Amino acid sequence: MRYVATRVSGPAEEPITRGEAKLHLKIESGQTDDDELIDALVSADREACEEFTNRCLVWSNWELRLDEFPTDLDGEIRLPRPPLRQVLAVRYVDADGAKQLLGSGNYLVDDRSEPARVRPAYGLQWPATRQQMGAVTVEYVAGYPIDDAGSPTDWSAGVPKPIIAALKLQLGHLYRNREAVNIGNIVTELDLAVRWLLWQHRVTDYLISA
Q: Is residue 105 within 8 Å of 120, Cβ to Cβ?
A: no
Q: What is the mean pLDDT of residues 171-186?
A: 70
Q: What is the mean pLDDT of residues 10-28?
A: 94
**Is there a domain that residue 208 lies in?**
no
**Bond into 82 cis (ω within 30):** no
Q: From 120, 142, 164, give the residue that closes a domain.
A: 142
Q: Is residue 119 within 8 Å of 77, Cβ to Cβ?
A: yes
How confident is the model at residue 129, as a pLDDT?
A: 97
In this prediction the pTM is 0.88
How confident is the model at residue 148, as a pLDDT?
A: 86
- Residue 156 pLDDT grade (very low, low, confident, very high; cuts 50, 70, 90): confident
Q: What is the mean pLDDT of residues 123-127?
A: 95
**Is there a domain that residue 6 lies in?**
no
CATH number of the domain encompassing residue 151? 1.10.3230
Q: Do 40 and 82 share a structural domain?
A: no
- Residue 29 pLDDT grade (very low, low, confident, very high; cuts 50, 70, 90): confident
Q: Do 31 and 47 share a structural domain?
A: yes
- Residue 97 pLDDT grade (very low, low, confident, very high; cuts 50, 70, 90): very high
Task: Give the mean pLDDT of the chain.
Answer: 89
Number of structural domains found in the chain = 2
Q: Do 192 and 169 share a structural domain?
A: yes
- Residue 179 pLDDT grade (very low, low, confident, very high; cuts 50, 70, 90): low
Q: From 109, 142, 175, give the residue that closes a domain.
A: 142
**Is there a domain that residue 49 lies in?**
yes
How confident is the model at residue 49, as a pLDDT?
A: 94
How confident is the model at residue 206, as a pLDDT?
A: 56
Q: Do 152 and 137 share a structural domain?
A: no
Q: What is the mean pLDDT of residues 53-64?
A: 96
- Residue 143 pLDDT grade (very low, low, confident, very high; cuts 50, 70, 90): very high
**Is there a domain that residue 5 lies in?**
no
Q: How many residues does the chain have?
A: 210
> Could you tell me whether strands 60-66 and 4-9 are parallel, antiparallel, or unpaired per DSSP bridges?
antiparallel
Q: Give the model confidence (pLDDT) of 77-93 as tens digits.
A: 999 999 999 999 999 99
**Is there a domain that residue 98 lies in?**
yes
Which residue range is the domain that position 180 belongs to? Answer: 11-57+146-199
Three-state DSSP state, 192 = helix
